[in-house]
Structure 1
Amino acid sequence: MSACERKRELRRRRSRTSKLNKLKSKLPKATQSEKTEIARKLRNLTPGAEELIDRWKLVESDR
Protein backbone atom coordinates (compact mmCIF):
# COMPACT_ATOMS: atom_id res chain seq x y z
CA MET A 1 0.00 0.00 0.00
CA SER A 2 1.44 3.34 -0.99
CA ALA A 3 1.79 6.18 1.44
CA CYS A 4 -0.67 8.30 -0.52
CA GLU A 5 -3.37 5.65 -0.26
CA ARG A 6 -2.66 5.34 3.47
CA LYS A 7 -3.27 9.07 3.91
CA ARG A 8 -6.59 8.78 2.09
CA GLU A 9 -7.55 5.84 4.27
CA LEU A 10 -6.72 7.76 7.44
CA ARG A 11 -8.66 10.79 6.22
CA ARG A 12 -11.72 8.63 5.51
CA ARG A 13 -11.44 7.06 8.97
CA ARG A 14 -11.14 10.44 10.69
CA SER A 15 -14.08 11.93 8.83
CA ARG A 16 -16.18 8.83 9.57
CA THR A 17 -15.28 9.11 13.26
CA SER A 18 -16.23 12.78 13.38
CA LYS A 19 -19.57 12.05 11.67
CA LEU A 20 -20.25 9.25 14.15
CA ASN A 21 -19.50 11.58 17.06
CA LYS A 22 -21.92 14.19 15.68
CA LEU A 23 -24.67 11.60 15.31
CA LYS A 24 -24.02 10.24 18.80
CA SER A 25 -24.23 13.72 20.33
CA LYS A 26 -27.71 14.18 18.80
CA LEU A 27 -29.07 10.97 20.33
CA PRO A 28 -30.14 12.15 23.82
CA LYS A 29 -32.55 14.79 22.47
CA ALA A 30 -33.70 12.82 19.42
CA THR A 31 -37.32 11.84 18.86
CA GLN A 32 -38.33 8.42 17.53
CA SER A 33 -38.35 9.60 13.92
CA GLU A 34 -34.96 11.27 14.36
CA LYS A 35 -33.55 8.05 15.82
CA THR A 36 -34.81 6.16 12.78
CA GLU A 37 -33.09 8.69 10.56
CA ILE A 38 -29.85 8.36 12.56
CA ALA A 39 -29.99 4.57 12.12
CA ARG A 40 -30.47 5.01 8.36
CA LYS A 41 -27.49 7.36 8.15
CA LEU A 42 -25.36 4.93 10.16
CA ARG A 43 -26.13 2.14 7.70
CA ASN A 44 -24.96 4.34 4.82
CA LEU A 45 -21.89 5.54 6.68
CA THR A 46 -20.12 2.49 8.00
CA PRO A 47 -19.98 -1.29 7.47
CA GLY A 48 -20.22 -1.94 11.23
CA ALA A 49 -23.50 -0.07 11.49
CA GLU A 50 -25.61 -2.89 12.93
CA GLU A 51 -23.26 -3.25 15.88
CA LEU A 52 -23.42 0.50 16.53
CA ILE A 53 -27.21 0.48 16.25
CA ASP A 54 -27.37 -2.25 18.88
CA ARG A 55 -24.87 -0.47 21.13
CA TRP A 56 -26.69 2.87 20.83
CA LYS A 57 -30.06 1.13 21.42
CA LEU A 58 -31.62 2.29 18.16
CA VAL A 59 -33.09 -1.14 17.40
CA GLU A 60 -36.51 -0.45 18.91
CA SER A 61 -36.85 2.86 17.12
CA ASP A 62 -35.91 1.43 13.73
CA ARG A 63 -38.44 -1.39 13.59
Structure 2
Amino acid sequence: MGRVERGRELARKRKRRAKLKRYRAEFAKASNETDKAEILEKARKISPFAVLEDAPSK
Protein backbone atom coordinates (compact mmCIF):
# COMPACT_ATOMS: atom_id res chain seq x y z
CA MET A 1 0.00 0.00 0.00
CA GLY A 2 1.30 3.46 -0.92
CA ARG A 3 1.90 6.42 1.28
CA VAL A 4 -0.77 8.97 1.94
CA GLU A 5 -0.02 12.59 1.07
CA ARG A 6 0.96 13.60 4.61
CA GLY A 7 3.42 10.72 4.80
CA ARG A 8 5.01 11.83 1.53
CA GLU A 9 5.27 15.39 2.83
CA LEU A 10 7.02 14.20 5.98
CA ALA A 11 9.35 11.95 3.99
CA ARG A 12 10.32 14.89 1.73
CA LYS A 13 10.92 17.06 4.79
CA ARG A 14 13.13 14.42 6.43
CA LYS A 15 15.12 13.91 3.24
CA ARG A 16 15.54 17.68 2.75
CA ARG A 17 16.78 18.11 6.33
CA ALA A 18 19.25 15.22 5.97
CA LYS A 19 20.56 16.63 2.70
CA LEU A 20 21.00 20.11 4.20
CA LYS A 21 22.84 18.58 7.15
CA ARG A 22 25.21 16.87 4.70
CA TYR A 23 25.69 20.11 2.75
CA ARG A 24 26.48 22.00 5.97
CA ALA A 25 29.18 19.46 6.82
CA GLU A 26 30.64 19.68 3.30
CA PHE A 27 30.51 23.48 3.46
CA ALA A 28 32.42 23.52 6.75
CA LYS A 29 35.12 21.26 5.29
CA ALA A 30 35.39 23.15 1.98
CA SER A 31 38.69 24.98 1.72
CA ASN A 32 38.19 27.36 -1.19
CA GLU A 33 35.46 29.75 -2.24
CA THR A 34 34.67 27.87 -5.46
CA ASP A 35 33.72 24.70 -3.58
CA LYS A 36 31.71 26.72 -1.08
CA ALA A 37 29.82 28.48 -3.88
CA GLU A 38 28.95 25.14 -5.52
CA ILE A 39 27.67 23.68 -2.26
CA LEU A 40 25.69 26.84 -1.52
CA GLU A 41 24.10 26.69 -4.98
CA LYS A 42 23.02 23.08 -4.40
CA ALA A 43 21.56 23.94 -1.01
CA ARG A 44 19.65 26.91 -2.43
CA LYS A 45 17.91 24.60 -4.92
CA ILE A 46 16.34 22.53 -2.16
CA SER A 47 15.92 25.26 0.45
CA PRO A 48 16.24 28.87 -0.77
CA PHE A 49 16.58 30.42 2.69
CA ALA A 50 18.87 27.84 4.28
CA VAL A 51 21.85 29.20 6.19
CA LEU A 52 25.06 27.19 5.80
CA GLU A 53 27.45 29.52 7.57
CA ASP A 54 27.27 31.64 10.67
CA ALA A 55 26.68 35.33 10.14
CA PRO A 56 29.84 37.38 10.69
CA SER A 57 29.94 38.95 14.13
CA LYS A 58 30.16 42.72 14.37
Normalising by structure 2, report the TM-score: 0.73
> How many percent identity over aligned positions?
37
Give distance in 2, aligned partners of 1:27 and 1:47: 16
| Residue ranges of structure 1 left out of the alignment (5+ in a row) | 58-63
Q: Which amino acid aligns with 2:27?
A: L
- Once superposed, which parts of structure 1, at least 4 consecutive aligned residues long, lie more than 6 Å away? none
Q: Number of aligned residue pairs: give it.
A: 51
Q: Which amino acid aligns with 1:17?
A: R
Deviation at 1:47, TM superposition (A): 3.6
Q: Deviations over 1:7-61 (max 9, x none)?
A: 0000000000000010111122202111100111111111423xx15xx15xxxx
Higher helix proportion (structure 1 or 2) = 1
Q: 1:17 aligned to 2:22?
A: no
Q: Which has the higher Rg, Structure 1 or Structure 2? A: 2
Q: Which amino acid aligns with 2:45?
A: N
**What is the DSSP-based 3-state SS (H/G/I as helix, E as strand, rest coil) of the residue aligned with 1:44?**
helix
Normalising by structure 1, report the TM-score: 0.68
| Residue ranges of structure 2 left out of the alignment (5+ in a row) | none
